[in-house]
Structures are given as structure tokens and as C-alpha cells.
Amino acid sequence: MSSNQPLKGIKVVEFSHMVMGPATGLILADLGAEVIKIEPLKGDNTRRLKGSGTGYFSMYNRNKQSICLDIKSEEGAKIAKDLVNEADVVIENFRPGGLKSTGLDYETIAATNPSVIYCSLKGFLSGPYEHRTALDEVAQMMGGLAYMTGLPDKPMRAGSSVIDITGAMFGVIGILAAMEERHTTGKGKLVQSALFETTAFMVGQHIAQGAITGVEPPPMSVRQSAWGVYDSFTTSSNERVFVAVVSDTQWRKFCETFELSDFASDTTLDTNTGRFDNRDKVIPCLTAMFAQMSTEQLTQTLDTIGLPYAPVNKPNDLINDPHLNNGGLLNITLEDGMQVKLPALPIEMNREKFGLRCDPPREGGDAKTILAGMGYSQEEIDKLIAANILRVS
């Protein structure tokens, strides 16, 4: 458990599912905020996803408390309103207008809690599309990222929910900026982050490239690299290693270390431009040379001379990574007792990482504690359970 909790004392109420909303709450929770996740009576549907969604709940819901409420009922909505009226921050990522009928929308909440920072995570910001529902993949397709990731005739989503996660990060940036402003004004505000605009921001470099060059950028899978050596190679261990030589100084060290005397004496290769123009001569030679070296031999040599390199890993390879196992992975216990290592928040403060305070919550596992803290008696809690307004586990 980390003592590094800069947001300790900040109360957050989260109405969310899938990735974008939970990831926003996760970041705040990892930073020390008290995050109460309000789930429907049957629990967050994300808990039951299969396939590529199997890991969503486990990854994005640690360090939170859970209460399962029927917020469409009068009494359930009252409990939720009482919680948000005491909150510093509210997070929601449901369809546009999804919480308005329950009186849990920003305008209604701000009327009784004017200092609240209400973060609404959507598919689109204000404009002609704001009524639409979107998903990470929808945004990647619509925003040009799938085109840039795939082949020219086959757009392909990135291999992670990158827009959900990055959109969550922008949401947190907005929340923290609003919190800083609140120190001066005493008032909260509505903060919005959206998938489509997040995608547009991420492909901004390609938009700029096209504007400057007058040529539409091709997908990254067939792009022309800016450097002469910037490729992945197969070693004698039948593993792939990415190797980059991005400066002329690195090139000289590279040639000296790998005893490439012919390349070292070839003045046409002294600059990156020359190496770029002669890739058809350089790359086949390196491919043949690296094919005779083991992965360990190649990576140790590159590490010694300080060149950028990377083994081409699969996600599960990271579980045994010695660097990440220095505090970059958290030991999470799931509801069924299974223990998994999952990535910590990728931030350090004063060289201290952010740790685990509690595992992902059971459905409604904190309901009794939360309601008791609000002044509810055991009898009142039992009545809520009997009336199917509250569910505990």
C-alpha cells in the first residue's frame, strides 16, 4: 500500500461501465481519492463480459468501493443524490441524457451541490454528433486511427482500448484543472471528454503531416520511416527485436561495436539521409547478421552501447518483466480468489509509485459500510434490501 496519496480526502461518485468511465475513476482512486462506484442492482455488466472484455473490470476498478442501487426507484435515487451532494467529483459515461430522468444530471446536482465537478464522458463533444452513442472502435474508425493502424485496404483498430483510456486521461486532466480553479472560485463545473475528439487529437500529427507535405499520410504499416535503421529483426532464437539507429553518433557506435568496417568507411552512410537512401543495402546486411545472434546476445550488445531496442513482446510477457516487477505491477486478488499481476498507474512522485489499497470490489460489497456512514440503521438497510432497492454481497 502506497503512502503516496495526493488526492486523499477527495470524494468521487462514479456511475460508469466498460472502460472510459472506470478508467477515469481508477486514476483518481490510485491517486488516493475515495471512489464510490454506484452499480445497478444486477451489478456492472462489465463484470460478466467475455472474450476481449474479460479483463475490463479487473483492470479498471481497483481501489474503489461498490454499492448496488436501483437508482430508478425514488429511494434508490435519494441515496445516490445524497452521495453526490457530498461529493467533490461525479463521473458518468452513459448515453447522452441517460441520468437526467433520475435527477442525477449535472444541472440538477449542481443546483444543490454547486462545488461539484461533474465529469461526463461521451462519444462526442458539443456539435452535430453529440447525440450519438459511440464506442472506442467507432471512434478509431471515424477518427482515422484505424486507417493509420491497418493496411491500406484494411483499417484495423489498435490492439488496446487506447481511445477509452486516453479519453479517461483527458477527463482526469479536466477534473484536476477544475479542482484547481475551484480553489479560487469555490464553484465546480461540467467537464466533458469524448472519444471522437480524443481520436482526432491523437491523429493530429498525421493531419499536420498531410497539410505540410501536401501528401495524404499512408498507414503506419506501410509508412516510410524517417530513419535509415528503424526495423524489427529475427534473431537465431526465432524472436523479433526492434532496433533503431536515429543519430549519426549512434551509427558510428553501431558500426564499431558490430565490426561493420565496410559501412563505417562508406561516407554515403555517414548521415541519416544517406542511410535512408541506401536502406536496400543496409537492411539486408543487418538482417543476415542479426539472424546469427541470439536475442540475449543482441539485446545485451545494444544495451551496452545505448541504442534504442525492444524485444517484440506479447502482453503476457510483461508479467515476468524484471523492470515492471520493481513496483510496476500490482498483485490483484479477483472476486473468485484468483491472483493476477496488473499494471500500476504509470506515474512516480518523489520516485514512489502508486499502489494498491483494495482489490476490485464485490458487487455491492461496501453498501452497508457506505450507508452506515450516511446514518442509515441496520433496520433501514434491511428494508432497502427487502424492497429490492439495495443489493449487498
Summarised one tens digit per residue, pLDDT across range 146-190 is: 999 999 999 999 999 999 999 999 999 999 999 999 999 999 999
8 Å CB contact between 7 and 179: no
Q: Name 185's Cβ contacts closer than 8 Å, sequence gap at least 6.
A: none
pLDDT at 278: 96
For residues 119 and 265, membership in a common domain is answered with no
**Domain annotation covers residue 218:** no
Q: 265: domain range?
A: 225-316
8 Å CB contact between 114 and 188: yes
For residues 185 and 293, membership in a common domain is answered with no
Q: How far is 16 from 151, CA to CA, in rounded Å?
A: 34
pLDDT at 224: 77
Q: Say whether pLDDT at 1 is over 60.
A: no
**Domain annotation covers residue 37:** yes
For residues 70 and 184, membership in a common domain is answered with yes
pLDDT at 251: 98
When the pLDDT of each residue in the chain is averaged and rounded to a whole number, the result is 96
Q: Say whether pLDDT at 69 is over 90.
A: yes
For residues 141 and 229, membership in a common domain is answered with no
Q: What is the mean pLDDT of residues 204-212?
A: 97
pLDDT at 134: 94
> Could you report how far apart the first and last alpha carbons of the chain are, in Å?
25
For residues 311 and 198, membership in a common domain is answered with no
Q: What is the mean pLDDT of residues 184-198?
A: 98
Last residue of a domain, one of 316, 337, 371: 316
For residues 44 and 172, membership in a common domain is answered with yes
pLDDT at 300: 97
For residues 92 and 181, membership in a common domain is answered with yes
Cell numbers linked to 273: 539521409
Could you read off the pLDDT of 276-299 as tens digits, one per residue?
999 999 999 999 999 999 999 999
For residues 199 and 237, membership in a common domain is answered with no
Cell numbers linked to 99: 441520468
**Domain annotation covers residue 216:** no
pLDDT at 2: 63
Number of independent structural domains in the chain: 2
pTM score of the predicted model: 0.94
Last residue of a domain, one of 272, 296, 316: 316
Last residue of a domain, one of 263, 281, 316: 316
Could you read off the pLDDT of 298-307 as tens digits, one per residue?
999 999 999 9
pLDDT band at 331 (very low <50, low <70, confident <90, very high): very high
Could you read off the pLDDT of 101-149 as tens digits, one per residue?
999 999 999 999 999 999 999 999 999 999 999 999 999 999 999 999 9
Beta strands in 96-254 (DSSP E): 117-122, 190-194, 229-234, 240-245
Q: How far is 19 from 91, CA to CA, in rounded Å?
A: 12
**Domain annotation covers residue 248:** yes
The residue type found at 346 is: P
CATH of the domain at 136: 3.40.50.10540
Could you read off the pLDDT of 236-253 as tens digits, one per residue?
999 999 999 999 999 999
For residues 254 and 340, membership in a common domain is answered with no
- Closest by CA to 212, choosing from 202, 204, 220, is 204
For residues 230 and 117, membership in a common domain is answered with no
Q: Name 118's Cβ contacts closer than 8 Å, sequence gap at least 6.
A: 89, 90, 92, 106, 109, 110, 188, 189, 190, 191
Q: How far is 115 from 241, CA to CA, in rounded Å?
A: 52
8 Å CB contact between 76 and 389: yes
For residues 276 and 344, membership in a common domain is answered with no
The residue type found at 106 is: Y
pLDDT at 75: 96
Could you read off the pLDDT of 7-52 as tens digits, one per residue?
999 999 999 999 999 999 999 999 999 999 999 999 999 999 999 9
Task: Using the CB atoms, write b or e for 199-231: b if 16+ within 10 Å.
Answer: bbebbeebeeeeeeeeeebebeeeeeeebbbbb
Q: How far is 67 from 36, CA to CA, in rounded Å?
A: 7
For residues 145 and 180, membership in a common domain is answered with yes
Q: What is the mean pLDDT of residues 263-288?
A: 97
